[in-house]
Amino acid sequence: MRLEKLQKYLRGKGWKYSYAEEDGCGSVDWEHRGLTYHVWEFPEDGAESNVKNVGKMEDYTGDYEEQIIGIIKEWG
């Protein structure tokens, strides 16, 4: 299982999400306030997500799960 920190955070908020894994990379999709969000891991260290701007995918590297969770926490 991948993206465990993100899945734990979403579960803690009570938000429904779907998880998939392909070629060792995790993918999480969920809805919040009518908008659809997505996180997809890269084979190398990183991920892409639209959590910062729902209409635009952005790349995250390093501790990308913490970065993405940090942005979600800013939603209020």
Q: Give the residue numbers spanning the domain of 27.
A: 4-73
Side chain identity, residue 68: I
Distance CA 53, CA 23 (A): 27
Provide the total of helices (H) and of strands (E) in the chain, helices listed first.
Answer: 2, 5
The pLDDT, as a whole number, for residue 76 is 77
Q: Taking the complete model, does pTM exceed 0.95, yes or no?
A: no
Give me the percent of the chain exceeding a pLDDT of 90: 93
pLDDT in tens, 13-48: 999 999 999 999 999 999 999 999 999 999 988 999
Average pLDDT score over residue span 45-53: 96
Q: How many domains does the chain have?
A: 1
